[in-house]
Structure 1
Amino acid sequence: MSDTTLTIEERPVTGGVATWVWMNRPEVHNAFNAQVIAELTEAFQALSQTERVRVVILAGRGKSFSAGADLDWMKAAGAASEAENREDAMRLAEMLAAIATCRKPTIARVHGAALGGGMGLACACDICVASERAQFGTTEVRFGIIPSAISPYVLRAIGPRQALRYFQTGERIPAARALALGIAHEVAPETELDSVIDGLIAELVKGGPNALWEAKSLVAAVAHQPIDAALRAETAARIARVRATPEAREGLAAFLEKRPARWIAES
């Protein structure tokens, strides 16, 4: 993607490619503006529908993952009307949704700062791998605003009790604390980030491509629901539908025949 705020890199993996989406504005710590938002939305929507893509990794060039919103973009928002701000916020919300609902497993590769919207990006991904020196934070209140668009994804990661603290204090969250809170799944030295991610990719591609999406969809459907008759019926219907797919039949046949499943064997 030339002349854009992103660079896209494909690396071969079993059964297809792992696609690395690099935010490429190192001079502003990958802060995002309207162009970044539009391009991330477009990229994740396209990758979601690209069959050869097995995993998507979101990363940042330079010293930071993403320091949040671009200052010029924020100044423009401050001068805009409420209606214009609503439209702008909706575009940000749609970008985060495109990441969160991508049909491929998504991994955030976080080094340096992941602040404000940058923390939202990390939490919107399925898995977050952070360097030991990474710093997270919902710093919006220090600018007189709130972490509204990112809140569903941050709350999903840390829960409302912790959000009450960090949404109001705006304090920095070091990597070790981020791991304990549930923001990060793995923390490693920056020099080992890619090897940790490669290990995760190797595990992810062992799963059937459709099953990975169905598992992701299952979490969204079941989380925080009461365990009642409706939920039991929902989960039964989901497994019954998935069991009937060609992928599931192939997975069972491969297991019984003691051979790799087709999505592993074909590369």
Structure 2
Amino acid sequence: MFETIDLTTDARGVATLTLNRVDKHNAMSAQMLAELTQAAGQLAEDDAVRVVVLTGAGKSFCAGGDLAWMQAQMAADSQTRFVEARKLAEMLQALNTLPKPLIGALQGNAFGGGVGMASVCDIAIGVDTLKMGLTETRLGIIPATIGPYVISRMGEARARRVFMSARIFGAAEAVELGLLAKMVPAEELAAAVEAEVTPYLSCAPGAVAAAKQLTRELGPRIDDAVIDTTIQALVDRWETTEAVEGIGAFFDKRKPNWV
């Protein structure tokens, strides 16, 4: 059914949603965005699913947005750019509001949109060797559509340490920033995730869903107005000379003119 992700469910009702574009370090293409949104809808409707684990295949959890997809936006008109940015925003919100516990198992690096994916998880556990970074500003763009989720997870003060600088940081700092709940050696990741999964199997699924919904209602506001603001912010950046230069420089394998 899916080409860029895998979705399996065991006999206990534990679903595993795996990003599976190994050759692209699980960068999010338009197809992956659509498939993740579809999978989130299926998981939300499946009463047999009690818990969802989000992970990646290969060496990386998620390298962020697919640069070929972003390059295509540079040649598109504003309306097309808005539609494409909304696909990313809708996928993130579908996972963020999933009425099941969502546990991130970061087996490798997470950059850009990959940090956003970790931030929509109710808890994220990463291997102690991983690197993370909000790298968008290196390309002349901004972490816009992921912004509400990243800032909700970290808080504004901590987010401002890494949100604009594109600085790469390790697992220990990711724990300090609140992006990861804990870091573990790679060989202990499965056990650490299982320790988070198991308690939910003794909980009433409806109560878990209601409790999760309540936390969202009490937490920072992420509604249609906020999402539309972030989409417009991203579209506006795509239309700047900095974005053209930054993304062009990446594909030309050169430094952008501000370096």
Q: TM-score when scaled to structure 2?
A: 0.83
For the residue of structure 1 that corresponds to 2:6, the secondary structure is: strand
More displaced stretch, 167-176 vs 147-156: 167-176
Computed over aligned residues only, the root mean square deviation of the Cα atoms, in angstroms, reads 1.3
- The match for 2:216 among 214, 220, 244 is 220
Alpha-carbon separation, structure 2, partners of 1:52 and 1:190: 29
User: How far apart are residue 61 of structure 1 and its match?
Assistant: 0.5
Following the alignment from structure 1 to structure 2, what is the Cα–Cα distance between the partners of residues 222 and 153?
14
Which SS does the other structure have where 1:65 is aligned?
strand
| Aligned residue in 1 for 2:49 | 53
After superposition, residues 78-157 of structure 1 pair within 5 angstroms as: 78-157=74-153
Q: How does 1:39-78 map to 2 (within 5 A)?
A: 39-78=35-74
Distance between the aligned counterparts of 2:41 and 2:98, measured in 1?
A: 7
Q: Distance in 1 between matches of 2:180 and 2:31?
A: 27
Matches within 5 A, 1:24-43: 24-43=20-39
Q: Secondary structure at the match of 2:208?
A: helix
Q: Which runs of 4+ in 1 moved over 3 A?
A: none
1:219-238 residue pairs with structure 2 within 5 A?
219-223=215-219
Deviations 1:52-71 (A, max 9, x none): 00001111100000000112
2:159–2:177 contact (8 Å) kept in structure 1? no
User: Deviations 1:127-176 (Å, cap 9, x if unpaired)?
Assistant: 10111012111110000000000001100111112222312111112111
Residues 31-55 of structure 1 show CA distances to partners (whole Å, capped at 9, x for unaligned) of 0110000000000111011000000
Letter in 1 for 2:11: P
Q: Given the alignment of the two structures, is residue 183 of structure 1 paired with residue 182 of structure 2, yes or no?
A: no
Q: Which amino acid aligns with 1:186?
A: K
Q: Which moved more, 1:81-90 or 1:149-158?
A: 81-90
Matched with 2:188 is: 192
- Cα deviation digits, residues 191-229 of structure 1 (max 9, x gap): 11111111111112221101111111111112259xxxx
Which ranges of structure 1 fall in alignment gaps of 5 or more residues? 226-267
State the Cα distance separating 1:111 from its structure 2 match: 2.1
CA distance in 2, matches of 1:52, 1:134: 33
Q: Relative contact order (alpha carbons < 8 A, sep ≥ 6): 1 or 2 greater?
A: 2
Separation (CA, whole Å) in 1 of partners of 2:159 and 2:177: 10
- Counterpart CA distance in 2 for 1:41 and 1:224 is 22
Aligned partners of 2:133 and 2:169 also within 8 Å: yes
Report sequence identity in percent: 38
Distance 2:199 2:130 in 1: 24
Q: 1:68 to 1:224 in 2, by over 3 A?
A: closer
Residues 55, 61 of structure 2: 8 Å contact kept: yes
CA distance in 2, matches of 1:204, 1:115: 29
**Pair 1:8 & 2:7 matched:** yes
Larger Rg: 1
Residue 81 (structure 1) shift: 1.6
Structure 2 gaps, min length 5: 222-259
TM-score when normalising by structure 1: 0.80
